[in-house]
Homo-oligomer: A and B are copies of this chain.
Amino acid sequence: MTRIEAEQTEQHPFDVDTDVDPVSDGRFVAELSDRWNALGGVVNGGYYVAVGLQALRRVLDHRDPLVVSTFFSRPARPGAVEIHTEVARQGRRVSTGEARILQRGKELVRLTATFADLAVAEGDLSLTEPPQLPPPDDAIDPVGVRSFPGVTMTDQVEYRFASVPGWRTGQPSGDPSAEFWMRFKHRREADTLSLPMLVDAAAPVVLDLAGVTGSVTLEMTTHVRRRPAPGWLACRVATRHLAGGYHEEDFDIWDSTGALVTQSRQLALLL
Contacts from A to B (Cβ < 8 Å):
66-67, 69, 71, 73-74, 88-89, 93-94, 96, 98, 107, 110, 112, 114, 116, 118, 120-128, 176, 209, 218-219, 221, 223, 225-226, 238-248, 259-260, 263, 265, 267, 269
Neighbouring B residues of A241 by C-beta, 8 Å = 125-128, 225, 260, 263
The minimal Cβ–Cβ distance linking A206 to chain B, given in whole angstroms, is 9
**Which listed residue, B94, B221, B243, touches A69 by the CB 8 Å rule?**
B221
The minimal Cβ–Cβ distance linking A44 to chain B, given in whole angstroms, is 20
The answer to whether B221 touches A124, judged by C-beta atoms less than 8 angstroms apart, is: no
Neighbouring B residues of A247 by C-beta, 8 Å = 125
Neighbouring B residues of A114 by C-beta, 8 Å = 71, 218-219, 267
The minimal Cβ–Cβ distance linking A66 to chain B, given in whole angstroms, is 7
The answer to whether A226 touches B240, judged by C-beta atoms less than 8 angstroms apart, is: no
**Which listed residue, B209, B221, B245, touches A219 by the CB 8 Å rule?**
B221
Neighbouring B residues of A123 by C-beta, 8 Å = 242-243
A35 to B118, CA, bound (A): 37
A67 to B70, CA, bound (A): 11
A242 to B116, CA, bound (A): 15
User: A118 and B88 in contact (CB under 8 A), knowing A66-B218, A66-B267, A267-B223?
Assistant: no
A-B contact pairs, 15 of them (CB 8 A): A71-B88, A71-B114, A73-B88, A73-B96, A94-B218, A120-B244, A121-B244, A123-B242, A126-B242, A127-B240, A127-B241, A221-B265, A225-B246, A248-B263, A263-B265
The answer to whether B125 touches A98, judged by C-beta atoms less than 8 angstroms apart, is: no
A172 to B151, CA, bound (A): 50
Closest to A120 in B: B244
**Which listed residue, B73, B89, B209, touches A73 by the CB 8 Å rule?**
B89
Interface centre among A127, A176, A244, A247 (most CB of B within 10 A): A244
